[in-house]
Structure 1
Amino acid sequence: MLRRLADQFEISSSTHVAAHGIERDADWFLLKLQEEMGELTQAWNRLTGRGRAKGRSPEDMQQDLADETADVLGHLMLFARHNDLDLAAAIERKWLFRPAQTSKS
């Protein structure tokens, strides 16, 4: 399941970077993850009253938080895929459960 999800993020990302002429070197994956964490933090600060709302409604700010969380997840998956990390095995080691597998139907 995680590998399939990472592959889906890779397809979307590679299409995006190709369309915009972006080169993804080894550092790009970590730097983009850090950038997205900053954007998630900014969305959280806005939602919790620690940052300027910039005219965004509470519903908009909640959606921004979800969108930025999705970006962090995507870039984390891209980072793991690029570095050939077995996240399922790491989750089992560190979190003591096995991620659910999808059936092949």
Structure 2
Amino acid sequence: MPPLLKLADRFEQASRTYASSNGIARDEDWFVLKLQEELGELTQVWMKLTARGRRRGLDDTALREELANETADLLGHILLFARRNDIDLPAAIVRKWRFDPGVDDIA
């Protein structure tokens, strides 16, 4: 199994556990709505970090940590969305980015 699909499986397991523990129904719409929500949260942190939003007492270090956390959330939800919709991300990356994410050919 390609590493990207293994990673998607790990996000799926964590998401399923979280949803079950919190009574969240992950229907078809949930996956795309979560993408939008997470992108909004990433944008909100970016606005604060670039002096276009209220920092609420957070310094650059705290905001950069939040930016990393929201980026991780967005990546996770992209992988969840692709997995739920049977999107072959490795094949799409080959088509669109012209490299194979399952091949370690970086010297």
TM-score by length of 2: 0.93
Residue-by-residue CA offset, 1:11-68 (whole Å, 9 max, x unaligned): 1000000000000100000000100000000010010101000111110000000000
Alignment equivalent of 2:58, drawn from 29, 34, 56: 56
Matches within 5 A, 1:1-105: 1-101=3-103
TM-score by length of 1: 0.94
Gaps of 5+ in 2: none
Instruction: Count residues with an aligned counterpart.
Output: 102
For 1:93 and 1:101, locate their aligned partners in 2 and report how far apart those are by CA, in whole Å. Answer: 15
Q: Report sequence identity in percent.
A: 57
Post-superposition, which runs of at least 4 consecutive aligned residues in structure 1 deviate over 3 A?
none
